[in-house]
Homo-oligomer: A and B are copies of this chain.
C-alpha cells in the first residue's frame, strides 16, 4: 500500500454564513468571514489516493487520469467561481473549509475507485495558517 498525492489550486469567492440566521448572528459567529459582499481565497487542494503498485507500470494508478478527474470534477467547477452561488456540489452547504473538503471527497470517492485506486484524504488549505483534512465518514 502506497499513498500518492496530487496538488491543485483554485481561486474562489465565498461567504460563510447560515441562511437561517440574521446578519447579526452570522457576524457574531463568523466574524468578517460573513461579509455579505463576499471575500475570497487561493485554495490549495491536496488529493491523496492509496493502493498497491501495479508491477508492470510502477504506478498505483495513472496520475494523469487522476489529475484530469480532479480538474473535471472539482477545479473546473470552483476555479474563479463563487462557491455559494455557482458550485452545484456546495449548493446546500455552508462553505466552511470543512464543508468544502467533505463535498470534494464525496465528488471524488466513486470516480477514483473506477480508476483502480482508493481515495485516502482530501486536504484543503484556505490560508497559510489554516487547513482541514478529511479521511471519509
How often does this chain occur in the complex, in copies? 6
Which of chain B's residues have a CB closer than 8 A to the CB of A129?
6-8
Q: How far is the CA of A13 from the CA of B30 in the complex (A)?
A: 17
Q: How far is the CA of A33 from the CA of B92 in the complex (A)?
A: 25
Q: How far is the CA of A21 from the CA of B80 in the complex (A)?
A: 20
In A1-55, which residues have CB < 8 Å from any B CB? Answer: 1-9, 11-14, 16, 18, 29-33, 35, 37-42, 48, 53
Please tell me which one of the listed residues B18, B31, B35, B93 contacts residue A82 in the complex, with CB atoms under 8 A apart: B35
Chain A residues engaging chain B, CB cutoff 8 angstroms: 1-9, 11-14, 16, 18, 29-33, 35, 37-42, 48, 53, 56-60, 62-64, 79-82, 85-86, 93-99, 101-102, 127-135
